[in-house]
Amino acid sequence: MSVQSLGYMGFTVTDVAAWSTFLTNKIGLEQVETNDDSALFRLDSRAWRIAVEKGKNDDLAFAGFEVANLSALEEITEKLKSAGFEVETGNTELAKKRRVVDLIRVNDPFGLPLEIYSGPTEVPEAPFVSPTGVSGFLTGDQGLGHFIRNVPDIEKTLEFYTTYLGFKLSDRIDMKFGPDITVPLHFLHCNGRHHTLAVASMPMPLRIQHFMFEMDSLDDVGYAYDRLDENITVTLGKHSNDHMISFYAETPSGFEVECGWGGRIVDENWTYVRHDKISAWGHKFVRKLG
Ligand SMILES: [Fe+2]
């Protein structure tokens, strides 16, 4: 039994107001709920997809993975429990807060809280309206997008996500940072999106290196490129593996967000390969973070 998609993400941030401005005015998400300490954002027919909560550190706080139905949730719960993982069940208050029918919580091997859930809230009665005029975000069967998980032990992490959550390897890129430094990036899928998750060991303290939104058109990405001009870290380019045309920008928390279009789909005939470069063209690193 596999998770079907990345459904939502939550971040702890030191500046909720800055994130609010960034996600609405720069990226084009719709803010649906806010107070001094937290805010929720949507980008499609779901009630929400991104949560930010005030905290002492800036990082990914939790990731929500969706399963097909309640029996799939039960099956995955049993699998995790019988393998000895500590699984929290029956937290109806949290399920209500996340606006899902039911969920479980389990930490991945390096302490990222994962919420596996069924029955998210759909609100077609309130159509998503982007404040910046983004024509749409590509979600549906492919879920919210992707994130790059930064961990000290790749094998242990890959084993967890493939064995217990049902992810499959798409490919790997051995990225050269210098003559003697090569960092392998491992890309995994759980639906047609080329990667919902990537795993790497980066010399940084955060749980993630970046996360990604896919937009409905190249023009959407182009307009976002101009809006985010001062935040750009990596210029427009095309990735070697998922063929996404994208750019990267710094969020108010120091890690990056990728905005892209045109990612290719993996199917059952997909063959695992490797690459030497992350990009076919472009993606010039123009600003170092930190
Ligand atoms: Fe990415």
Q: Say which residue, 264 or 289, is predicted with more confidence.
A: 264
**pLDDT surpasses 80 at 157:** yes
Specify the pTM.
0.97
The model's pLDDT over 51-65, given as tens digits with 9 standing for 90+, comes to 999 999 999 999 999
CA 139 to ligand 1 center in whole angstroms: 15
Q: What is the mean pLDDT of residues 270-286?
A: 97
Q: What is the mean pLDDT of residues 208-218?
A: 97
Among 61-65, 180-184, 192-196, 212-216, whose mean pLDDT is lowest? 180-184
Range(s) within the chain of domains with CATH label 3.10.180.10: 5-120, 140-282
What distance lies between CA 137 and its chain's CA centroid? Answer: 13
At position 170, the amino acid (one-letter code) is S
Q: What is the mean pLDDT of residues 84-93?
A: 98
CATH number of 5-120: 3.10.180.10
CA 50 to ligand 1 center in whole angstroms: 17
CA 83 to ligand 1 center in whole angstroms: 31
CA 147 to ligand 1 center in whole angstroms: 7
140-282: CATH topology is 2,3-Dihydroxybiphenyl 1,2-Dioxygenase; domain 1 (3.10.180)
CA 212 to ligand 1 center in whole angstroms: 6
pLDDT of residue 36: 79
Query: What is the C-alpha to C-alpha distance for residues 153 and 201, in angstroms, rounded to an integer?
Result: 7
Query: What is the C-alpha to C-alpha distance for residues 158 and 233, in angstroms, rounded to an integer?
Result: 28
Instruction: Supply the Cα-derived Rg of the chain in whole angstroms.
Output: 18
CA 107 to ligand 1 center in whole angstroms: 22
Report how far apart, in Å, the C-alpha atoms of 168 and of each of 71, 108, 147, 190 are.
Answer: 22, 16, 15, 6
Among 20-24, 33-37, 191-195, whose mean pLDDT is lowest? 33-37
CA 198 to ligand 1 center in whole angstroms: 8
Q: How many CB atoms sit inside 10 A of residue 62's CB?
A: 20
Q: Positive or negative CA dihedral for 254, 182, 279, 211?
A: negative
CA 187 to ligand 1 center in whole angstroms: 10
pLDDT of residue 6: 98
Q: How many CB atoms sit inside 10 A of residue 20's CB?
A: 18
